[in-house]
Amino acid sequence: MKINKLAIFGIVIATFLSSCVVVRPGEVGVKQRLGKLVGNPRGQGLLFVGPAATVLKVPIRTVNREVRLSLPSKEGLNVNAEISILYHIKQESVKTVIEDVGKNYEQTLILSTFRSAAADVSSRFYAKDLHSGNRATIEEDIRVRMTNILEGRGFIIENILLKSISLPSGLYQAIENKLRAEQEAQQMQFVLQREKSEAERRRIEAEGIRDAQLIIKEGITSENIEWKSLEVLRELASSPNAKIIITDGKTPALINTGE
């Protein structure tokens, strides 16, 4: 009898566990009974299914979907690109997404919306822009475009990342030549600016010398000369040394000195 009870208990436990599903972190489980979704999405843990029911597991964590496609450019070229779409589903919208779109929501909504938005945005830019500082702008424009299209559908487009760009043959060389020409032009502009600054410095220096000479010239008058001569005569008269001075009373001339 004891063995029978243990067997029955084991059967009950096995039956219960077989009717349960483990929902892992980053996903939710939705019960489906006879083709109809029942109840609210359940988070991580053990979820009891019950008879005639199954559980659909839907990830709500960030999904990284990598896509390779050919993007049209403004000048009509095709640019091969590898792009990552980072997105997730709102937990409260999981049931609605499954009911309205189905389990294949990524192919039905995310990828089709992305291809349309990416082509629309890239066609407004030149091919070289996909390989330059405009890359961040293009990524954000695609993200905003997808967000607007999927508004109210329960998806959050977190980011769009242009991982690699393959430009048409010959375009790389054209871009390099242009960058080299721009660098040379900038270098020449720097040299011209430096020469201009040096010329301006010399002009200002010459003006300063000219102004100083004009001031000195204006200060050399007969009255100033006579005044300076008197100062020289006064200094000579107070000197203890013997000197021979020839003067007309205005401009003294020193001929000899002695102890």
Q: Could you tell me if 76 and 150 lie in one domain?
A: yes
Write b or e for each residue in 35-70: b if 16 or more Cβ atoms lie within 10 A of its Cβ, otherwise e: eebeeebbeeeebebeeebebbebebeeeeeebebe
Contacting residues for 209 by C-beta, under 8 A, at least 6 apart: none
Residue where one domain finishes, among candidates 138, 154, 170 = 170
Q: Could you tell me if 104 and 7 lie in one domain?
A: no
Q: Do the domain assignments include residue 220?
A: no
- Count of CB atoms within 10 A of residue 122's CB? 25
The pLDDT tens digits for 119-139 are: 999 899 888 787 777 888 999
Q: Could you tell me if 73 and 158 lie in one domain?
A: yes
Q: Do the domain assignments include residue 35?
A: yes
> Between the CA atoms of 103, 109, 111 and 113, what dihedral angle is there, to the nearest 10 degrees?
180
Contacting residues for 84 by C-beta, under 8 A, at least 6 apart: 64, 65, 66, 67, 159, 160, 161, 163
Please state the φ and ψ torsions of residue 249, each to the nearest 5 degrees: 90, -5
Domain of 21, in residue numbers: 2-59
Q: Do the domain assignments include residue 208?
A: no
Q: What angle do CA 247, 253, 254 make, to 5 degrees?
A: 125
Contact between residue 55 and residue 31 where contact means Cβ atoms under 8 Å apart: yes
Q: Do the domain assignments include residue 198?
A: no
Residue where one domain finishes, among candidates 155, 170, 185 = 170
The pLDDT tens digits for 51-83 are: 666 777 788 889 999 999 888 888 888 888 899
Q: Could you tell me if 31 and 48 lie in one domain?
A: yes
Give the pLDDT band of residue 215 (cuts 50, 70, 90). confident
Residue 98's domain is classified under what CATH number?
3.30.479.30
The pLDDT tens digits for 175-204 are: 566 666 777 777 788 778 888 888 888 888
Q: Is 128 helix (H, G, I), strand (E, B) or coil?
A: helix
Q: Could you tell me if 49 and 69 lie in one domain?
A: no
Give the pLDDT band of residue 103 (cuts 50, 70, 90). confident
229 CB-side CA count, 13 A: 17
Q: Could you tell me if 39 and 100 lie in one domain?
A: no
Q: Could you tell me if 25 and 98 lie in one domain?
A: no
When the pLDDT of each residue in the chain is averaged and rounded to a whole number, the result is 76
DSSP annotation of 45: E
Q: Could you tell me if 47 and 83 lie in one domain?
A: no
Residue among 137, 91, 142 nearest 117 (CA): 142
pTM value surpassing 0.75? no
The pLDDT tens digits for 238-259 are: 666 656 555 655 555 544 554 4
Contact between residue 87 and residue 63 where contact means Cβ atoms under 8 Å apart: yes
List the end-to-end C-alpha distance of the chain, in Å, as a whole number.
149
- Domain count of the fold of the chain: 3
Q: Do the domain assignments include residue 206?
A: no
